[in-house]
Amino acid sequence: MPALNRRQFLAASLGAVGSVAAGTGLGSQLWPLMGREDLVPGRTPELVLPAGAWSPAADRLTFAAVGDTGSGGRQAMAVADRMARGYQDSPYGLVTHLGDLCYYGSVEDRFDDVFTRPMRPLIDAGVAFELAIGNHDGALHHSDASLAEIDAELRLLGTPARHYTTSHGPVDFFYLDSSTPGLFGDDASVQLEWLDDALASSTNQWKVVCMHHPVYSSGAHGSTPGADELLEPLLADRRVDLVLSGHDHHYERTHPVDGVTYVVSGGGCKTTPVRPGRFTAAASSTLQYLHVDVVGDRLTGRSVRADGRVVDRFELRAREGR
């Protein structure tokens, strides 16, 4: 039978683990991945949250960050439920989604399952979602099919472009398309020049870059090839405070690298192993999301597991002399 890419045969596996796999030869491709996937249905979070409970201010912001949520299964529901409970305890008006919003099929077909149902309590509370687009169909490259998926995601979430900036209180966010050709292809200079100009023009107290593929990671995919040479010097020169990414399905925080702290928060619905490297300050292979509080020149981050336990807690001070 023709070789299937990961998205195709996982989509084929939904509801067909038994009879379809046995009868079509999918079994030899499917079973090695089953232990890593989130295919068991889950219960939609039932919390009713007070709308607009956060307090906008020029000198403070609370937000959540999570990546790789797109299964619609039991584990994705558990993380989404924990995010809603995090809102109960410390309300926030923004979620920065770090990519891979949808697995196992078309986002047009699965948007309700992978986004609306899990995030319903936050959506109903008026929380905004901003997206750093994911890789779609493996590697870093945009196929025609993945380009269509990306365009659909941007439209469904109301995302303005593949790379863009937003500003919330004391924080400027810079969202990147970290794929090839977006950041690593022949036209990479277009986005890099845009990023350089956007960072140089930022006058806010905090600069946070959001992208799917990690510059530094000790997980299954590892650090993104070429990012240390292409992107890291720009982030350091423009005095970025924090870089958030997903792609690897674990949590990891680096020691500051030339003043920049890098965090992988890709445990939105499934996990893969992580083996801490020389740059690692904290790491865990666990389902989780990141809860961030910014007050003046202090940023406090908490990586929160689906069961509510805190994996890691860190504090940053805003960079001076911008």
> How far apart are alpha carbons 85 and 103 in whole angstroms?
25
For 62-81, give the DSSP string: EEEEE---TT-BHHHHHHHH
Instruction: Please tell me the distance from the alpha carbon of residue 212 to that of residue 245, in angstroms, as a whole number.
Output: 5
pLDDT greater than 70 at residue 214:
yes
Q: What is the pLDDT of residue 26?
A: 47
For residue 163, the model assigns a pLDDT of 95
Percent of the residues in the chain that have a pLDDT greater than 90, as a whole number: 75
Distance CA 224, CA 112 (A): 31
141-148 average pLDDT score:
70
Dihedral through CA 247, CA 248, CA 251, CA 256, nearest 10? -80
Query: Average pLDDT of 168-197?
Result: 90
User: Tell me, what's the pLDDT at 185?
Assistant: 77
Q: What is the mean pLDDT of residues 78-95?
A: 98
What per-residue confidence (pLDDT) applies to 71?
A: 95
Task: Note the pLDDT tens digit of each residue in 297-306.
Answer: 999 999 999 9
pLDDT digits (tens, 9 = 90+) for 223-266: 999 899 999 999 999 999 999 999 999 999 999 999 999 999 99
Per the model's pLDDT, the better-predicted residue between 186 and 223 turns out to be 223
Residue 146 pLDDT > 80, yes or no? no
Structure tokens at 115: 């986004």
Q: What is the mean pLDDT of the chain?
A: 88
pLDDT of residue 134: 83
Beta strands in the chain (DSSP E): 60-66, 94-97, 128-131, 164-168, 171-175, 206-210, 242-245, 251-254, 261-265, 280-284, 288-295, 298-305, 310-317
Q: What is the pLDDT of residue 27?
A: 47
pLDDT band at 320 (very low <50, low <70, confident <90, very high): low
Q: pLDDT by residue (tens digit) across 101-123?
A: 999 888 999 999 999 999 999 99
pLDDT tens figures, 48-85: 999 999 999 999 999 999 999 999 999 999 999 999 99
Superfamily of domain 45-317: Metallo-dependent phosphatases (3.60.21.10)
Average pLDDT over residues 20-47: 67
Q: What is the pLDDT of residue 17?
A: 44
- pLDDT value at 136 more than 90: no
- Give 8 or 267, the one with higher predicted confidence: 267
The answer, yes or no, to whether residue 22 has pLDDT greater than 90, is: no
DSSP 265-305: E--SS--------TTEEEEE-S-EEEEEEEETTEEEEEEEE
HSE, side-chain direction, 13 A CA sphere, residue 63: 26
Q: Give CA–CA dist 15/73, Å, rounded.
A: 12
State the pLDDT confidence band at 147, using cuts at 50, 70 and 90. Answer: confident
Place 6 in a pLDDT band, splitting at 50, 70 and 90.
Answer: low
CA 105, 100, 96, 285 torsion-angle sign: positive
Peptide bond just before 181 cis, omega within 30 deg: yes
> Residue-wise over 274-300: b if at least 16 C-beta within 10 A, else e?
beeeebbebbbbbbbbbbbbbeeeebe
Number of residues that this document lists for the chain: 322
Contact (CB, 8 A) for 16 and 104 = no
List of E strands, 2-79 = 60-66
Q: What is the mean pLDDT of residues 26-36?
A: 53
Residue 314 pLDDT greater than 70, yes or no: yes
In the chain, where the domains are located: 1-34, 45-317
Check residue 180 and give its pLDDT.
72
Structure tokens at 241: 């405070």
